[in-house]
């Protein structure tokens, strides 16, 4: 058993102690001698927040749009630890030819074994959706790691699907989620095209699918798309912002404030799009520049939101409990609570990550990584 002593749980002023048994929080108590323990860690009055949940990471690497030499490598465990991410959802992007859902599931299993619980999505930008079983439904129902499906719209790299095809994807994912007890959602890559939410709106208008079935992401890439996204959230849908993506006039703190003013904070989530490639194109669609995104943009965004005047307890919600609720994982992650997973970040006075605990294991201690991936 581990005792984390002399810490302040986010939002509380008084010092307390957290007891960890196996991978869960056994108890939270002011008594630091309540149970016999094997390990004591002095938190030195640091603030504790839940580990971040990032539902959009290209764990097998993104990119490849500028040729084979531009394929982004797989992510390493230490990069996730440094970013304070303790729960991950991996996915594919443009390339589902040299990469596969099988590879994605294998990487999910590897990261989970190394200490960070990792789920994934079937599908990719492409339609028909690449799967393992030949069926979106069967992938989600029968493969534990797969909790939803990915597709792309409003982008020159999408498959130009129509709203009826999007409906079928949504229907398959929803029913699969109901049968398996998973979120069964459709993560929709929103490109920078001219149609914004039209395809999603048409799919909802001409079907009985609930709005929560569709989860548009990258909605803060430009102002008009973000305005439409806020309206979508006002109607009850979840929207996912990409931390670190917004231009100067649409940075993370500003986007958060816009969502707060709209009254939809409980419907927004942030993710990093980590290890996915960013790219710029000319008017003819020719690639001008390409790179890849780090995974530490979440904790940076939280700092920016706090610096803008928000309380830390509120600022972390789109990175923790909101994501957990959207993914139907909120009974085990996203909070610091008895019987929840022991996924904890200890932050210093500058809100820098000092210590990371994932599934009851120390991954970083006093700003030093103490648990690395198999080949790191």
DSSP string, 210-252: -GGGEEEE-TTSSHHHHHHHHHHHHTT--EEEETTTS-GGG-H
* Inside any domain, residue 374: no
Same domain, 159 and 224: yes
Q: How confident is the model at residue 30 (pLDDT cuts 50, 70, 90)?
A: very high
What residues are designated binding site for substrate?
63-65, 94, 125, 157, 221, 277
Residue 172 has pLDDT above 80, yes or no: yes
List the CATH number of the domain containing 9: 2.30.40.10
Cβ atoms of 189 and 152 closer than 8 Å: yes
Q: Please give the mean pLDDT across all residues of the chain.
A: 97
54 catalytically annotated: no
345 token code pair: 């970040």
What residues are designated binding site?
56, 58, 63-65, 94, 125, 150, 157, 189, 218, 221, 273, 277
Same domain, 35 and 122: no
pLDDT the model gives residue 249 = 73
Specify the number of domains making up the chain: 2
Same domain, 8 and 27: yes
Segment 317-343 shows an average pLDDT of: 99
3-state class of 269 per DSSP?
A: strand
Same domain, 36 and 128: no
Same domain, 25 and 151: no
* Inside any domain, residue 331: no
Q: What percent of the chain has pLDDT above 90? A: 92
Give this prediction's pTM: 0.97
Same domain, 123 and 8: no
Same domain, 272 and 346: no
What residues are designated binding site for Zn(2+)?
56, 58, 150, 189, 218, 273
pLDDT the model gives residue 283 = 84
Same domain, 45 and 63: no
Cβ atoms of 35 and 44 closer than 8 Å: no
Domain that holds residue 321: 52-326
Cβ atoms of 123 and 151 closer than 8 Å: yes
Cβ atoms of 118 and 147 closer than 8 Å: no
58 pairs with which residues across the strands? none
Q: Compute φ and ψ for 160, nearest 5 degrees.
A: 50, 40
Same domain, 8 and 114: no
Same domain, 247 and 312: yes
pLDDT the model gives residue 128 = 97
pLDDT the model gives residue 7 = 98
Query: To 5 degrees, how large is the angle CA 169–CA 173–CA 175?
Result: 120
Question: Which residue in 139, 273, 283, 366 is the catalytic one?
Answer: 273
């Amino acid at each position: 058993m581990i005792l984390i002593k002399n810490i302040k749980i986010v939002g509380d002023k008084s010092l307390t102690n957290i007891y960890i048994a196996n991978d869960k929080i056994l108890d939270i108590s002011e008594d630091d001698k309540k149970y016999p323990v094997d390990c004591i860690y002095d938190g030195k009055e640091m603030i504790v927040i839940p580990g971040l949940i990032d539902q959009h990471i290209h764990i097998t690497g993104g990119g490849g749009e500028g040729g084979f030499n531009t394929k982004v490598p797989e992510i390493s465990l230490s990069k996730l630890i440094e970013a304070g991410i303790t729960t991950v959802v991996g996915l594919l992007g443009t390339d589902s030819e040299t990469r596969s859902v099988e590879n994605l599931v294998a990487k999910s299993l590897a990261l989970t074994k190394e200490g960070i619980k990792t789920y994934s999505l079937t599908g990719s930008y492409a339609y028909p959706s690449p799967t393992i079983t030949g069926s979106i439904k069967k992938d989600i129902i029968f493969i534990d790691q797969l909790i939803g499906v990915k597709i792309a719209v409003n982008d020159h790299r999408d498959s130009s699907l129509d709203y009826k095809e999007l409906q079928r994807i949504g229907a398959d994912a929803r029913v699969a989620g109901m049968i398996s007890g998973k979120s069964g959602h459709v993560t929709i890559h929103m490109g920078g095209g001219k149609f914004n939410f039209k395809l999603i709106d048409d799919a909802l208008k001409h079907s009985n699918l609930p709005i929560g079935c569709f989860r548009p992401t990258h909605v803060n890439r430009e102002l008009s798309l973000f305005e439409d996204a806020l309206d979508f959230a006002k109607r009850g849908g979840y929207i996912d912002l990409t931390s670190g993506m917004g231009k100067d006039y649409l940075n993370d703190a500003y986007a958060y404030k816009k969502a707060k003013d709209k009254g939809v904070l409980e419907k927004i989530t942030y993710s990093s799009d980590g290890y996915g490639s960013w790219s710029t194109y000319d008017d003819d669609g020719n690639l001008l520049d390409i790179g890849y995104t780090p995974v530490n943009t979440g904790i940076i965004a939280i700092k920016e939101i706090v610096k803008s005047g928000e309380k830390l307890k509120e600022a972390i919600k789109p990175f923790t409990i909101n994501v957990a609720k959207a993914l139907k994982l909120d009974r085990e992650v996203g909070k610091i609570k008895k019987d929840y997973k022991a996924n904890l970040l200890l932050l210093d006075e500058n809100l820098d990550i000092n210590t990371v605990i994932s599934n009851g294991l120390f991954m970083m201690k006093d700003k030093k990584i103490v648990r690395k991936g198999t080949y790191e």
